Amino acid sequence: MIRERITDKEATCLLILFLLGSSILVGIGVRAKNDAWLAGILGVVFFIPFALIYARIQSIFHGRDIFEITILLYGKVFGRILIIIFSWYSFHLGALVLRNFCEFVHVESFPETPLIVITLCFITINIAAARSGIEVIARIATFCLPVVIILFLLMEILSISTMDFNNIKPILGNGFSKVADVGFSSFSFPFAESVILLGVFYTLKKRESAVKVYMKGVLAAGIVLITLTLVNIFVLGNMIEDYYFPSYASFSFIKVGDFIQRMEGTIAISYVLTSFIKSSICLFVACKGIAAVFNLNHYKFIVIQTGLIMAYFSLILYDNIEEMVDWFQNIYQFYAIPFQIIFPLFIWVCAEIRNRSEKRDQSGKGKKGV
C-alpha cells in the first residue's frame, strides 16, 4: 500500500474546514448574547496551549497515527481502552455533526422529508469520502475552502446594509463570568474538537509542520468564526440566542435592490461542504480506531457499516431540535473534557517522559562508547 501524504497547505485547509464544520451552523458562544464574539476570542486563547500540545504529540511521533502512539505508550491492553475512548468520541462527534446538519436541512428546507432519508443521503458521501482515504479528503478540502471563504465574504459584504453597529453595546453587559463560562464552551466546541485530527496528521510530510498547521489553522478558523459571530450580532443583536441557526437567519435579511434577496440558500452550500469534511474526518478516524482495536489490516472494510451505525446513532440521539440545542449548549462542554483535555494530556506527559529518557539513554550510550 502506498503511504498517504498530505501537504501542509492541504492539512491547514482540512483543519480550518473541520473547525468551521457545524460551528458556522449553530454559531459559537451564542449563550453570551452580544458578547459571543468575546467568548469566541477567549475560546481561541484558551485553545492555543492545547493546540501546541496536540502538535507536540504529533511531532514527537512523526509519521505515526494516534493509535500507534497510544499502543506504543500504554501497551496493548490499556492502550486499546484509550483507543476505544478516542474512537468513541470521534464516532459520537461525527454523529453529532451529521445530526446537526441534517436537522438544519430538515427544519429549513425539507420539513416533509423524513430525517432518516436526509441522513442516509448525507452519510453516503461520508462513506465514499472515508473509503477513498485521507488524501482525497484533503484534496477536496483545498477545493472547498476557497468556495466557503468567498461565499462568506460575499454574504458578509452584502449584509452590511442590514447591520446595526449599536447591537454590540453594552460590551460585557452580562458580566465577565458569563463570558468566561461561554468562552469555555466555545473552547470545547469547536476548537478543541480538533483533537480528532491527531488521527489524520500522521500523513504530514515534515516533523515541524504539525505546529505550523495547527497554529495557522486555528487562527484562520478563529478569525472566520469571530467575524461571522460579529456579523450575526450586528444583524440580530441580542436575539442571536433565539435562533437555532443564527448565521442562516442573519443572512436571510439580505436585500440589495430588487434582485439580490433571500440569499441564505447560497450559504447552505458552505454548510454542506464544511459539515461534509468534518463528519468524513470523524468517520475516517473512528474507522481507523476500530481497525486499530481489532488489529485489522485495513480500515476500508468496515467503513460502510460504521457509517451506517453512525447515521442511525445520529437519528436516535435526540427526539427533536430543542433537545439537541439544549444538549449542545449545556452538556457538551463537560462531556468533552475527558476526550479533549485529559486524553491528550495523558498521551503528552507520557510521550515527553519517554522522549526524555530515550534521549538520555542515547546520550548515555554515546558516552559509554567514548
Partner 1 sequence: MLVFVILGYALLSIYEFFPLYKENKQKEFYVNLVLGIISFTMAILISLRINIPSPAEAIKIVINYILKAFAM
Partner 2 sequence: MVIIVEKNTKKHIFKKAKSFEGKTKDEKNTNNSGKLTKSLNRNITIFQSSFSNDDTVIFRKFQNQYSDKIKCCIIIIEGMTDIEHINRRVIEPLQNQVFQRPKSSVNLVDEVQNKVLPVNDVRQSTRLNEMIKAVCYGDTVLLLDGCDVALIISSRGWESRPISEPESGKVVRGPREGFTESIIKNVSLIRRKIKNPNLKFKLMELGKQTHTAICITYIEGIALDSILTELEQRLNRIDIDGILDSGYVQELIQDEPLSPFPTVGSSERPDVVVAKMLEGRVAIIVDGSPFVLTVPHILVESIQINEDYYNHFLFGSFNRFLRAASAIATISIPAVYLAIVTYHQEMIPTQLLISISASLEGVPLPTSLSLIIMMLIFDILREAGTRMPTAIGQAVNIVGTLVLGQAAVDAHLVSSPVIIVTAISGITTFMHPTMIESVVILRLVLIIAASFLGIYGYLIGVILILLHLLSIRSFGVPYMMGLTRLEEHDGQDSWIRAPWWSMTLRPKIIGARNQIRQTSRHNR
Give the footprint of partner 2 on this chain (CB under 8 A).
Answer: 7, 9-10, 105, 109-110, 113, 118, 121-122, 124-125, 128-129, 132-133, 136, 139-140, 142-143, 258-259, 261-263, 265-266, 268-269, 272-273, 276
Distance CA 249, CA 321 (A): 16
Count CB atoms within 10 A of the CB of residue 184: 19
* Cβ 98 to partner 1 shortest distance, Å: 14
Cis peptide before 246 (omega within 30 of 0): no
Q: Which window, 194-202, 252-260, 272-280, 287-295, contacts partner 1 (CB under 8 A)?
A: 287-295
Please give the Cα distance from 335 to 344 (Å, whole number).
15
Cis, peptide link before residue 114, omega less than 30° from 0: no
Cβ atoms < 10 Å from Cβ of 81: 12
262, burial (CB in 10 Å: exposed 0-12, middle 13-18, buried 19+): exposed
- In Å, what is the CA distance from 167 to each residue of 155, 170, 173, 230? 19, 8, 12, 10
Residue 262 touching partner 1 (CB under 8 A): no
Amino acid, single-letter form, for residue 329: Q
Contact between 274 and partner 1 by CB under 8 A: the answer reads no
According to the binding rule CB under 8 A, does residue 125 interact with partner 1?
no
The one of partner 2, partner 1, none whose footprint includes residue 175, by CB under 5 to 8 A per kind, is none
Q: Name the one range near partner 1 by CB under 8 A: 10-18, 271-279, 310-318, 355-363.
A: 310-318
- Burial tier of 74 (Cβ tally within 10 Å: 0-12, 13-18, 19+): middle
What are 293's three cell numbers? 482495536
Task: Select from 5, 206, 207, 298 the one that contacts partner 1 (CB under 8 A).
Answer: 298
* Of residues 103, 100, 98, the one with CA closest to residue 114: 103
Q: Which is nearer to partner 1, 306 or 340 (CB)?
A: 306
Q: Does 320 bind partner 1 (CB under 8 A)?
A: no
SS3 297: coil
165, 294, 320, 369: which one contacts partner 1 (CB under 8 A)? 294
Q: Give the nearest distance from C-beta 315 to partner 2 in angstroms.
A: 17
- Please state the closest distance from residue 92 (CB atom) to partner 1, in A: 8
| 305 scored as a contact of partner 1 (CB under 8 A) | yes
Tell whether residue 117 is a contact of partner 1 (CB under 8 A).
Answer: no
| Nearer of residues 176 and 301 to partner 1, judged by Cβ | 301
Q: Is 121 in the site for partner 1 (CB under 8 A)?
A: no
Count of chain residues binding partner 1 (CB under 8 A)? 26
Q: Binder to partner 1 among 52, 163, 309, 350 (CB under 8 A)?
A: 309
Q: Quick one: what does residue 329 bind among partner 2, partner 1, none, with the CB cut-off 5 to 8 Å set by partner type?
A: none
Rounded Cα gap, residues 119 and 124, in angstroms: 9
CB of 331 to partner 1, least distance (A): 5
> Of these, 48, 168, 256, 296, which contacts partner 1 (CB under 8 A)?
296
User: Cβ 296 to partner 1, closest distance in Å?
Assistant: 5
CA angle 193, 299, 14 (to 5 degrees): 35
Collapsing DSSP states into helix, strand and coil, what is residue 62? coil
Distances (CA, A) of 78 to 67, 83, 84, 292: 12, 9, 10, 13
Looking at residue 155, its amino acid is: M
Chain contacts with partner 1 (rule: CB under 8 A):
116, 290, 294-298, 301-302, 304-306, 308-309, 312-313, 315-319, 323, 327, 331, 334-335
